[in-house]
Amino acid sequence: MSDRGSHEDGLNAQKYHGQGMESNSNNFDSGQQQQEQELATKMLQIQSKRFYLDVKQNRRGRFIKVAEIGADGRRSQVFLALSTAAEFRDHLSSFSDYYSSLGPPNPDSVPEDGKLKSEMMLKDNRRYYLDLKENSRGRFLRVSQTIPRGGQRTQVAIPAQGMIEFRDALTDLLEDFGTDDGGFKGELPEGRLLRVDNKIFYFDIGQNHRGIYMRVSECLMSFDPQVKNKFRTAITVPEKCWGNFRDILAEYCDKMGRAAAGTTPAAPTTPNPPAHQDMVSD
């Protein structure tokens, strides 16, 4: 079932958008949600699941949000740049061909982890893992979106029988809106790291449908080989406020430097106004 365009779909879309789906998005830009414009949407019913494919646009460019609503009402979603959606569409074709060649499920031939075929897509600092899997409920394609170094992980699961239908819906949207992501076209700076005692701070520059950002993550190093290094919470700083972020850090550095030196900041001085000069006419 592809884009229905019926009154029933309109009601479904209203219900979907009224369930708070946006509140779970990777929104690091306060107020950005109100600036998003929905350009198109498709709803797919695949077995007991509903999938919404929304083409959205904000001041940074266009992207596709894929949202899954299970039979129990659970919601999950992933975000795809238009160029990534095009790559995903091509993978759906190859996964579907492979699925068709498998024949009936055979529990004796399933790998221990259930994976039958896997691929990975990389966009900026986001990784997308595509895993065709099999379990007691059947075969499905799991699409996982991750951000390295302590980032958030989200995923959707598409029943294997619906991969072609899903691909065709993506194709329709990409034919209408193209594969140009918009946004920054240059090369992003490489990541940096800073070692302080037993900690490492990572500074990674990335870009997604919301724009360019810096992700700062902290890793606690362990000197015990049997204990894994542990990543802690990361913060994401939008590019538009890097200057303010820098100024606040510089102010703290200046104040702490003066405190360590035992001095206090000098009182601001107001420059003397320029002396009055009489106007001389020719």
Domain residue ranges of the chain, discontinuous segments joined by +: 7-177, 192-258
Name the DSSP class of 228. -
Per-position pLDDT tens, the chain of length 282: 444 343 344 444 444 444 433 333 443 333 444 478 899 999 999 999 999 999 998 776 789 999 999 888 889 999 998 999 999 999 999 999 999 998 888 777 777 888 999 999 988 778 899 999 998 888 999 999 987 665 678 999 999 999 999 999 999 999 999 988 766 666 778 889 999 988 899 999 887 666 788 989 888 877 666 656 677 788 889 988 999 999 999 999 999 999 988 865 555 555 554 444 433 333
- Please tell me the class of the 192-258 domain: alpha beta
Determine if residue 178 is left, alpha or beta; phi over 0 gives left, psi from -120 to 50 gives alpha, anything else beta: left
Please choose, from the candidates 13, 1, 20, 7, the residue with its C-alpha nearest in 3D space to the C-alpha of residue 54: 13
| pTM confidence score | 0.58
* Residue whose token pair is 């240059």: 186
Question: Taking a C-beta distance cutoff of 8 angstroms, is the pair 157, 20 a contact?
Answer: no
Tell whether domain 7-177 is in CATH 3.30.429.10.
no
Report the b/e string of 220-239 with b at 16+ CB within 10 A: eeeeeeeeeeebeebebebb
Confirm if 3 and 172 have CB atoms less than 8 A apart. yes
Tokens of 61: 């460019």
What are the φ/ψ torsions at residue 230 (nearest 5 degrees)? -115, 125
